[in-house]
Chain A
Amino acid sequence: MSERTGKQLSKEEKDARFEAELLPVLDPLYNFAYRLTLDEDDANDLVQETYLKAYRFFDYFEQGTNAKAWLFRILKNSFINEFRKKSKQPAKVDYSEVEGYYNSEDVEGESGVATTTDMRTESVQDLIGDEVASALNALPVDFRTVIILCDLEGFTYEEMAKILDIPIGTVRSRLHRARNSLKEKLEKYAKSMGYNSNEI
């Protein structure tokens, strides 16, 4: 890493910049890690690994660009590699994943959608939250991922395509199938609770 040319920051400057630009993403990143691994310790490890990788490749990161998408991409690739390791296949670390990844688009693509349930009490809210979580956790990881990226984190299709390394068309079709699958699971639950499936 030392032979890189260009403006050299002191370690203090680099660390300060790193913390200012990337640490604010910690909360969504940890949540993403948790939803992928479904385990707090694994999420913890995955997030640490992601930040260390990001630190090593921080020179490739253009200040002011989409830090959140960049970190999500590194985390998702680390997650895949971790799985390779666990399945005893050779763990090939692909560093090209973090090189040259720039996104000049705006940072947040929030498409705020209001929640439209009629249920008001706290406990019912909790119940719904738990049910949504278990329905989501029961989805295959690829489906879970697109729903989290889109609906929870508000990434645009274009950002998702970059994070996941797939064409936008694949993002769309995967999201569509993922939602159908989630809907099916929640409809079953709604029926078991005595609601008409049309209400969900």
Chain B
Amino acid sequence: MESKITEVYQNAPVEGKETECEKVSKLLDLVIDGEATSEDQQYFKHHIEDCVSCFESHQKQKLLKGLVCGHLKRVIVPESLALSIKAKIQKTL
């Protein structure tokens, strides 16, 4: 559900706020992937405390990453594979 606060932010972007949001959106993947510097992380964290729309983007992106790492089923390695690799290697000089 779209919250009313979000709409307020979206409909009335303050000019300074907008550039801050842009900066934060560029940091989004870095933060999610643990690649942001601690300075950037602080900046990001501080911003999303106040900005609902960036907070929501962050939640969404985290969820997306969680869907891949938490829900994608791993395929089971056939038992014969390790054996056949070992056998081939033993024959290789």
Q: Which of B70, B78, B93 contacts A115 (CB 8 A)?
A: B70
Cα A155 to Cα B3 in complex, Å, equals 35
The range of chain B's interface size is 35 or more
Q: Is the CB of A133 within 8 A of B81?
A: no
Cα A117 to Cα B62 in complex, Å, equals 10
Interface string of B2-26 (1 = CB under 8 A from A): 1000000000000000000000000
Q: A186 CB to closest chain B CB, in angstroms?
A: 7
Cα A136 to Cα B88 in complex, Å, equals 33
Q: Which of B30, B64, B77 contacts A200 (CB 8 A)?
A: B64
Contacts of A44 in B (CB 8 A): 78, 81
Contacts of B1 in A (CB 8 A): 196, 198
Contacts of A61 in B (CB 8 A): none
Cα A15 to Cα B72 in complex, Å, equals 34
Q: How many residues of A contact B (CB 8 A)?
A: 50
Q: Which of A52, A150, A198, A200 contacts B33 (CB 8 A)?
A: A150
Q: With A157-B33, A172-B29, A183-B60 in contact, do A48 and B84 touch (Cβ < 8 Å)?
A: yes
Q: Is the CB of A152 within 8 A of B75?
A: no
Q: A86 CB to closest chain B CB, in angstroms?
A: 22
**A143 in the interface, Cβ–Cβ < 8 Å?**
no
